[in-house]
Structure 1
């Protein structure tokens, strides 16, 4: 009964428009201190102390320092000229094809995903540059926004990834292994999005083509060389075991700052305070959600939610693959209606317990969870990538939602492939770490 009431109150407060952190934390704290929920021998002071301890322990982690650091790196990247140079280079490679600029936008998103770890930051960085250009070349604004949103969602699959950092923190699974597991899946999604964008552009006559010349490739490649170095240095350091994830995040900030101010010279020092404040406001909201979710999860654990879930799953008598697909469907639905960080923090501690019954490796399951939530970023009503690209393109959410439907469909096909064919997620982690 307590569990039903807890989730009911949470969704009710979210429906009222209360901030996500408060929607999660207030019902949990309220029920914890409600008489009768815990034995009378447990004093109110002791319960209050427990709440404070859970709030503190929820964010007391060196690994979580990577979250605000990657947010700063993404903010610097957005205004430091990195995205424009990457788009120009990708366009020089594929601009000759139908829908070449759309494919270039997705290609640049894949590269930028290796810097910030944030889908919203990637969408904003690419969209601000490429959407106006795509519209000038004859692409419908809704299609341009859909392509940019789809590319931005890859930002939490290709490492570094803030949701993967959170998943590793909650489950004590190596974040580096999760990063390695996301590389091939992110690449599959990226190339699938490119194929769909090119096909639609060819069929409907969108965009302009530009002649392919090695001279243009060389010129744009030289200009983008420093920008392309960031993913290589940051990911190479993390996956190679040279730096930790948090140290890699600090390295990403330093490198983005170096490229934006010294090399590209498009970022002034006077802009830095504004960028830091904006990025840390977002990071602070994420950490506040994490702290509140810790209290929420503690109350669930005290109500023996894991045992109840295990009993329910056993009663279904599903084969492992059936249970895995059912969990994937549940995550898709949750990703559509709940903010990504909140969804991750609420469902992972419970669903991660089912990996033995699903017969999947915890690393594979972590990657699948993140892919599910990335798809949720492309669907209304809470798809953050959709909202960012809609704002840049000045197009209604309904129009962009219709335009992005083929991209969402192909992403679901890729998700099924990743779920059923484990080497896609496990080959690189096995090669590098086992």
Structure 2
């Protein structure tokens, strides 16, 4: 009881989750007097990190940092402008398409929103779009970030659930494209109504030049996916090869990646990796205590009591995750909830890969909703739009996102078809 009260109290006052989990675990041990458990905590703390899949985390973080410093972000946006800018509402399409390109580079909805809010929102406002709409579209498009590979949340879920990271990467492709298409259709429907502007048509020579400049950047995510699907690389190995290729492209093709950038790149990679790893370590001992107290089994039984079929179970899971996503950061929630929800999902015959996609989408949508929606606050601060105005502009995109979420939830084909094509026979 003491540890539970401490857990929620520490969360409310804003203590980082890794410390919350560690402190709550220690309070449980001392309040119950179970010192035998205390002796096992150090080994449990480190055993949770002895997983080869975790090596993918620093490699993909390093890949993103190298590509950001290598000048690839602006080239992808310029390429999207050349292809889609001539349509009515062209920059709105560019916003969506550029987000789809950037997910393979940045891999973080928060970082992606910060970049796009600085680059695309001012350009859209300059051409006559309202700042509220531009910012809402930018924030909403970040939902695609954790779905299109490589994806940090999928790596975390895969390690926690013991599921193939390659299969999870593949499972996010169709959902990511569905979000992109749905947002594009919404733009198309309101473009004439709001008389969105369009850019001048570019010449064939300009289009060919933009394409030739962006091809080296596009080879990197293609390499990741082809390497994984062909079985040549594991997800971790593909990240290492892609990071090396990104260095070659940024340093010798675009010539924007300099040796002086490397200390900053490595430092940012180490800091981000350490943060995630520490969280994984403390969540492992917290999860062990939960299992010791049979909390996952109790929650599984509660789901079994409330739901008598898979349809109702998935509905309850979505409601739970949407609520949790409003208060807890996505990666933290994945680490905390996966060991709890996975046993119940297995009882109802839900594929672990399908559950992973549902969890990632739900928790990413939580980034757009108050009171703790980090993407919401980043977009508001970067684009200088008041939260209440931004929330109003986000409503149509949240409705679209909920519709796509329900489609993915109840049509497992959307997450399982591509992984099944590459599964060993």
Q: Same fold judged by TM-score > 0.5?
A: yes
TM-score scaled by structure 1? 0.92
Query: Deviations 1:360-382 (Å, cap 9, x if unpaired)?
Result: 21111111111111211222233
Aligned residues: 424
2: distance between equivalents of 1:203 and 1:343?
40
2: distance between equivalents of 1:148 and 1:87?
13
Which of residues 148, 151, 157 in structure 1 aligns to 2:141? 151
Do the aligned residues in 1 keep the contact of 2:49 with 2:280 (CA within 8 Å)?
A: yes
Query: Deviations 1:70-126 (Å, cap 9, x if unpaired)?
Result: 122222323322111111111222112222112112112212222343223333343
Matched, 1:433 2:408: no
Superposition RMSD in Å: 2.0
1:127 aligns with 117
When residues 99 and 24 of structure 1 are mapped into structure 2, their CA distance, relative to the original with a 3 A threshold, is farther
2: distance between equivalents of 1:382 and 1:273?
32
2:302 aligns with 312
Give the 3-state SS of the residue equivalent to 2:145 in structure 1: helix
Higher mean C-alpha deviation, range 64-73 or range 166-175: 64-73
When residues 182 and 268 of structure 1 are mapped into structure 2, their CA distance, relative to the original with a 3 A threshold, is same
2: distance between equivalents of 1:279 and 1:385?
21
1: distance between equivalents of 2:104 and 2:3?
38
1:370 aligns with 360
Matches within 5 A, 1:32-431: 32-36=29-33, 38=34, 44=35, 46-211=36-201, 213-431=203-421
When residues 395 and 80 of structure 1 are mapped into structure 2, their CA distance, relative to the original with a 3 A threshold, is farther
Unaligned runs of 5+ in 1: 39-43
When residues 267 and 276 of structure 1 are mapped into structure 2, their CA distance, relative to the original with a 3 A threshold, is same
1: distance between equivalents of 2:197 and 2:251?
33
Do the aligned residues in 2 keep the contact of 1:76 with 1:260 (CA within 8 Å)?
A: yes
When residues 161 and 93 of structure 1 are mapped into structure 2, their CA distance, relative to the original with a 3 A threshold, is same
Query: Deviations 1:160-198 (Å, cap 9, x if unpaired)?
Result: 111111111111111111111111011101111222234
Give the 3-state SS of the residue equivalent to 1:33 in structure 2: helix
Higher mean C-alpha deviation, range 159-168 or range 215-224: 215-224
When residues 259 and 389 of structure 1 are mapped into structure 2, their CA distance, relative to the original with a 3 A threshold, is farther
Do the aligned residues in 2 keep the contact of 1:338 with 1:382 (CA within 8 Å)?
A: yes
Which of residues 22, 27, 38 in structure 2 aligns to 1:25? 22
2: distance between equivalents of 1:287 and 1:145?
32
Q: What's the CA shift for 1:275?
A: 2.8
Q: What's the CA shift for 1:213?
A: 4.2
TM-score scaled by structure 2? 0.93
When residues 318 and 134 of structure 1 are mapped into structure 2, their CA distance, relative to the original with a 3 A threshold, is same
1:11 aligns with 8
Q: What's the CA shift for 1:355?
A: 1.8
1: distance between equivalents of 2:336 and 2:198?
45
2: distance between equivalents of 1:180 and 1:77?
22
Q: Which runs of 4+ in 1 moved over 6 A?
A: none
Q: What's the CA shift for 1:332?
A: 1.1
When residues 125 and 226 of structure 1 are mapped into structure 2, their CA distance, relative to the original with a 3 A threshold, is farther
Do the aligned residues in 2 keep the contact of 1:29 with 1:295 (CA within 8 Å)?
A: no
When residues 151 and 258 of structure 1 are mapped into structure 2, their CA distance, relative to the original with a 3 A threshold, is farther
2: distance between equivalents of 1:308 and 1:146?
40
Higher mean C-alpha deviation, range 189-198 or range 330-339: 189-198
When residues 256 and 400 of structure 1 are mapped into structure 2, their CA distance, relative to the original with a 3 A threshold, is farther
Give the 3-state SS of the residue equivalent to 1:34 in structure 2: helix
When residues 15 and 150 of structure 1 are mapped into structure 2, their CA distance, relative to the original with a 3 A threshold, is same
Unaligned runs of 5+ in 2: none
